[in-house]
Amino acid sequence: MTETTDPAVPALRGIGLFAGTDDDQLRTLAAVGTEVSFTDGDVLFVENAPAESWWVLLEGSIDLVRHLGSEETRLGVMDVPGRWAGGFRAWDEHGAYLATGRAASDGRVLRVPAAALRELWASRFPLGLYLTEGVSRSARNYETMARQREALAALGTLAAGLAHELNNPAAAATRAVDALTEAHAAMLSSLRRLAAAPVAGDEFTRLDTLRQELGPRPGGDPLEVADREDALADWLSRQGVAHGWTLAPALSGAGADVAWGERVAGVVGADRLEPALEWVASSLEASGLLAEVKESARRISDLVAAVRSYSQLDRAAVRETDLAEGLESTLAMLAPRVPPGVTVVRDHAPGVPRIEARAAELNQVWTHLVDNALHAMGDRGTLRVSTRVDRDAVVVEVGDTGAGMTPEVRAHAFDPFFTTRGVGEGTGLGLDISRRIVDRHGGDIDVDLRPGETVLRVRLPVRRPGRH
């Protein structure tokens, strides 16, 4: 690109954009502007960069493109003299270019600094400036509201995932209780039959001792288990046990074999063998079902504790916070989103101190970083979360083995409203908002591109600025 002197007023007069603008106004505009010549392929301005210049096409053609990840989308074209782009910082201090302007042919543009454009508006048409500022604020507010709605939608997704996670152990506990009712009835029935036999007190004590030898066994060789079950079923059939084929799986699964069965027969005799084995089998089943109910209740309790830690609803706003605990509660909340092909690696260094922080806000940052990492990997990869001490700060890293960031995405990752996600995807919390949360805690966040891994690193001071 080549900058020349101020453009001539007659050149501007022939452009429809300036129809109705008097010569004095055009001379003022020409005095603060610069004519820039460009050639095919030149990049005049870049998306998400501060829109500190107003560009008016005088001749040629400029493509307006936007990058989403590694893909480039052509949004439009400036191909008629008078079409313009940028200049948003004339009325919005946060204004950024909405697209990248890349020359599609040779040509010329008028470039006016946004500050100079604002001065012109303020002196020549203050009402227009106020109106434009109002429209800009409204657009920003609408964008913020849209992000908030996305965040609420993401929260709904988290809630649905949590409900699903809670439903699994709750349903398991319900099934176990139903089965426990049947096992309890079978145990009482077998006890009544033993009492009617009758069985002596010392015989029952010896039987109970044999029962205690059995219990849940870790998974062994399936062929050995099947062989033991078949042998026990055949032995029970020879002993005249009517329901041996139903008793054999439960007994053999707990470790019983033919030798154990013969010891039971030696204690109670052949005529009382069936009710004795039914009592043992129902007792084992009841114990196993109680253990299942206990495990289901523990899982529900753990999920509730994770939600409680994640939301920090019962904690003070600023408090001593364990960042590893926050990361773990975040992983628990996002567990339904972790594909089977993704491995989660935890690397929490010992001795990491608690820091003074707003734990609920930081948990939102961890949620966004983890969700982004999962999105980058798709169905397969390694998600790594770590905490460690580095001098007077705690460092948190969230790494993924996904496709990585392009230089363009990395350059604008923390720009306001920048995203590579589609509408309705993600948590609604951009890296810009994550950065602001980290900034409020006196820390910083950056991207580290390593071979085979993209790492988002957050550094937080152990003591917040201004506190001792």
Q: For residue 462, what pLDDT band results from cuts at 50, 70 and 90?
A: confident
pLDDT at 144: 57
- 344 and 439 inside one domain: yes
- 252 and 340 inside one domain: no
pLDDT tens, position by position, 154-182? 556 666 666 666 777 788 788 888 888 88
pLDDT surpasses 70 at 237: yes
43 strand-pairing partners = 102
Mean pLDDT of 340-368: 88
Residue 68 falls inside a structural domain: yes
pLDDT surpasses 60 at 90: yes
Please give the single-letter amino acid code of residue 41: G
Please give the single-letter amino acid code of residue 201: G
pLDDT at 427: 39
pLDDT tens, position by position, 135-154? 556 555 555 565 556 555 55
pLDDT at 456: 92
pLDDT surpasses 90 at 414: no
Tokens, residue 275: 């009710």
Contact 161, 153 (CB under 8 A): no
pLDDT at 384: 94
More confident: 295 or 459: 459
pLDDT at 371: 86
79-88, 280-289, 372-381, 427-436: range with lowest mean pLDDT: 427-436
Residue pointed to by tokens 């030798």 = 259
Q: For residue 101, what pLDDT band results from cuts at 50, 70 and 90?
A: very high
DSSP type of residue 8:
P
Mean pLDDT of 223-251: 85
16-20, 433-437, 461-465: range with highest mean pLDDT: 433-437
Mean pLDDT of 261-285: 88
Which residues are CB-neighbours of 3 under 8 A, at least 6 positions away? Answer: 34, 35, 36, 37
Among left, alpha and beta (phi > 0; psi -120 to 50; other), residue 194 is alpha
- 340 and 264 inside one domain: no
pLDDT surpasses 90 at 60: yes
Domain boundary among the residues 252, 277, 302 is at: 302
Q: Which domain CATH number covers 415?
A: 3.30.565.10
Query: Other C-beta atoms within 10 Å of 336: how many?
Result: 14
- 29 and 120 inside one domain: yes
Q: Which domain holds residue 23?
A: 2-124
- 276 and 243 inside one domain: yes
- 271 and 373 inside one domain: no
Among left, alpha and beta (phi > 0; psi -120 to 50; other), residue 87 is left
- 85 and 208 inside one domain: no
More confident: 359 or 130: 359
Residue 166 falls inside a structural domain: yes
Nearest 5°: phi and psi at 403?
-75, -15
Tokens, residue 206: 């010896």
- 266 and 325 inside one domain: no
Tokens, residue 49: 């960069």
Alpha helices in 317-379 (DSSP H): 323-333, 359-377
Nearest 5°: phi and psi at 214?
-95, 160
pLDDT at 468: 41
Mean pLDDT of 188-200: 85
Residue 307 falls inside a structural domain: no
- 279 and 336 inside one domain: no
Per-position b or e across 390-414, b if 16+ CB within 10 A of its CB = eeebbbbbbbbbbebbeebbeebbb
- 118 and 179 inside one domain: no
Residue 60 falls inside a structural domain: yes
Whole-prediction pTM value?
A: 0.43
Residue 418 CA to residue 98 CA, distance in Å, equals 10
Residue 280 falls inside a structural domain: yes
Average pLDDT, the chain: 79
pLDDT tens, position by position, 275-324? 888 898 888 888 888 888 887 887 777 667 666 656 554 455 677 889 99
| Three-class secondary structure of residue 217 per DSSP | coil
More confident: 360 or 37: 37
| Three-class secondary structure of residue 342 per DSSP | strand
Query: How do 393-400 and 381-390 pair as beta strands?
Result: antiparallel
Number of domains into which the chain is organized: 3
CA 290, 294, 299, 300 dihedral sign is positive
- 185 and 75 inside one domain: no
- 278 and 328 inside one domain: no
